[in-house]
Chains A and B, each alone.
Chain A
Amino acid sequence: MLEVRQVRGGHDRADVLHAVSLDIAPGETLALLGPNGAGKSTLMAALSGTLARRSGTIRLDGEDISSLPSHLIVSRGLALVPEGRHMFSPFTVADNLRLGAIRLPQPTRARLAERHEFVFGLFPRLAERRSQLAGTLSGGEQQMVAIARALMSSPRMLLLDEPFLGLAPRVVEEIHQALDALRSTGLAMLLVEQKLDIALTFARRACVMVKGRIVLEASSAELAARDDLGELYFKLARAATRG
């Protein structure tokens, strides 16, 4: 589904990503773990076409998307829910969702209605709030809008950059359930997460990124069984510095 090979790049001259490679199978959910500053969000920017400078190959269903601008990547079926939600705050929920559908293939009235129905089914609260300004919503509701907005383009691959960050446990649970429902539709997902416990219950396979490199790839069961889980990042970071 998604094939990332030897991707390098960064926001200015210095590389943040050092030859990152990973694969995601159709319908698979992969967790991308790593400490703060590991380059996870930079990788998300590279995949979604918003990174200033990048090299290497990114293929989506076999098609090379590595040199496409971001708007064409969206229309190819890859959508990113960025860290920090990035609401269009003065716009209503409905307008935020409508903008999410700007690259919907064949945006007929029926198709739009179908997308709305889908995301409101996932997050019934948003249906009640559709004419409210996005900036007035709670953090959890904004995160729901951010996810729903990305889903409006009917993606085949969804990237989620720390969707649970700073949310109350009850809301985390609610969003977790929605993502489970999404997974059962066969949508491939890449979940970026700092907290191991959340990520490992959600994805079957995980990659750990440290200092711009994928340093470990394992099944969630394997990772969860390690007794050094608490200090894993620390150990891996030290190994990466030495190596």
Chain B
Amino acid sequence: MQDLIELLISATAGGCIYALFALSYLVVLRPTGVINFAVGDWGTVAAFGGFLALSEAALPWPIGMAFVIIAAFGLGWLTERIAVRPLVERGAPVLAPILALLGMLVIFREAVSVAFGPDPRPIPQPFGYGRIEFGLLAASYQSIFIIGITASVFVGAWYFFERTLAGRSFEAVALDRRAAALMGINLRRVTSFAFGAGASIAALAALLLTPNTSAHYLMGIPLAIQGFTALVIGGVGRTEGALVGGIILALAEQLTMRYVPIAPGLVQGVPLLLLIIFLLVRPTGLLAARGASA
């Protein structure tokens, strides 16, 4: 029993990472309509930023983390300036920036591989390798840390989108670009901010993940797929959808790995299988958007 609970907690922590990547997709997707598959490789770049800040420079965790997250905001902003804005302002179809961002993904990955080589780089655990045991409850410090941070990020994101004027104007841009412009919403600034925030969230996710897995230049693609699957499962209409989708995906993966007798490598197929099932059966995701008829 304790074993199962520990599995569930660590799966939830893994799900939180997917949920953060899904949220990274979502903050860009909402106002711009662009699906940005480069989220995983924003994470890769941030993970190596974390390696430099936390392992090489040995900065204290909060400072190193803040440093990487702020730098990632700049990276996201730059990504938008280079790969998205020139296309959107020339009236290109929405597929054009999506493809340009796939190009950015390759650039990020190869830049990291040139700079750091193919070996994984370790990142220290913020609280060491300790565990909490409390009755039946058992979990690593890192799992608790991941779940706590993710919960607060989602509360913050929910508050932003639902309760602040800036968040409402993000939504407004998503609902009707022209009307949003006529209200006086600065479309450029919303787009820049969305990409910056998206990259910061991806960076946070990478920093939470890599103490367990190390930074590696190929880590981006699977994260991009898992984040996207989480988004599809939860639905893009509501912020909580990303969280629900991430946790469901991770539970499916972990329980398959534990109880289904298949080769460990095949577990990587679980998100793809879920992705196909959801796109076929429930393409709007589990949580329908508010105001939309189900």
Name A residues whose Cβ lies closer than 8 Å to a Cβ of B: 12, 48-50, 52, 69-71, 74-75, 79-80, 82, 86-91, 95, 98-100, 102-103, 133, 135, 149-150, 153
Q: Give bound CA distance, A80 to B181, whole Å.
A: 10
B47: min CB distance to chain A, Å = 37
Q: Give bound CA distance, A12 to B90, whole Å.
A: 10
Asked whether B289 is an interface residue with its Cβ less than 8 Å from the other chain, the reply is yes
Q: Flag if B171 contacts A74 (CB, 8 Å).
A: no
Report, as a range, how many residues of chain B touch the other chain.
20 to 34
- Known: A50-B178, A82-B178, A91-B171. Is A98-B165 also a contact (CB below 8 A)? yes
User: Which of B165, B176, B292 has a CB less than 8 Å from the CB of A102?
Assistant: B165
- Known: A50-B178, A89-B291, A99-B169. Is A149-B183 also a contact (CB below 8 A)? yes
For B181, give the chain A residue with the smallest CB separation: A70
Q: Flag if B182 contacts A88 (CB, 8 Å).
A: no
Which residues of B have CB within 8 Å of A149? Answer: 183
- What are 30 pairs between A and B in contact, CB < 8 Å? A48-B181, A49-B181, A50-B181, A52-B91, A69-B186, A69-B188, A70-B184, A71-B181, A71-B185, A74-B182, A74-B184, A75-B184, A79-B182, A87-B179, A88-B176, A89-B175, A90-B171, A91-B168, A91-B172, A91-B175, A95-B168, A98-B165, A98-B168, A99-B165, A99-B172, A102-B184, A102-B185, A103-B183, A149-B183, A150-B182
User: Which of A88, A103, A150 has a CB less than 8 Å from the CB of B175?
Assistant: A88
B211: min CB distance to chain A, Å = 40
Q: Flag if B179 contacts A82 (CB, 8 Å).
A: yes
Q: Is the interface of B mostly helix, strand, loop or mixed?
A: helix
Q: Flag if B175 contacts A74 (CB, 8 Å).
A: no
Q: Flag if A70 contacts B182 (CB, 8 Å).
A: yes
For B182, give the chain A residue with the smallest CB separation: A80
Q: Flag if B291 contacts A99 (CB, 8 Å).
A: no
B86: min CB distance to chain A, Å = 15
Q: Flag if A102 contacts B291 (CB, 8 Å).
A: no
Q: Which 4 A-B pairs have the closest CB atoms?
A: A90-B291, A103-B184, A74-B184, A86-B179
A99: min CB distance to chain B, Å = 5
For B188, give the chain A residue with the smallest CB separation: A69
Contact string, B66-107, partner A, CB cutoff 8 A, digits 1/0? 000000000000000000000000010000000000000000
Q: Give bound CA distance, A133 to B172, whole Å.
A: 14
Interface residues of B in 269-294 (CB under 8 A from A): 289-292
Which residues of B have CB within 8 Å of A90? Answer: 171, 175, 289-292
Q: Flag if B291 contacts A133 (CB, 8 Å).
A: yes
Q: Give bound CA distance, A27 to B13, whole Å.
A: 63
B66: min CB distance to chain A, Å = 30
Which residues of B have CB within 8 Å of A135? Answer: 291
Which residues of A have CB within 8 Å of B175? Answer: 88-91
For A135, give the chain B residue with the smallest CB separation: B291
Q: Give bound CA distance, A48 to B182, whole Å.
A: 7
Which residues of A have CB within 8 Å of B187? Answer: 70-71
Most-contacted residue by chain A among B182, B188, B290 (CB, 10 A): B182
Q: Flag if B184 contacts A86 (CB, 8 Å).
A: no
For the complex with contacts A82-B179, A89-B291, A135-B291, 11 further pairs of A-B residues with Cβ separation under 8 Å are: A12-B91, A48-B181, A48-B182, A50-B182, A52-B91, A71-B186, A71-B187, A87-B179, A88-B175, A91-B172, A149-B183
Which residues of A have CB within 8 Å of B291? Answer: 89-90, 133, 135
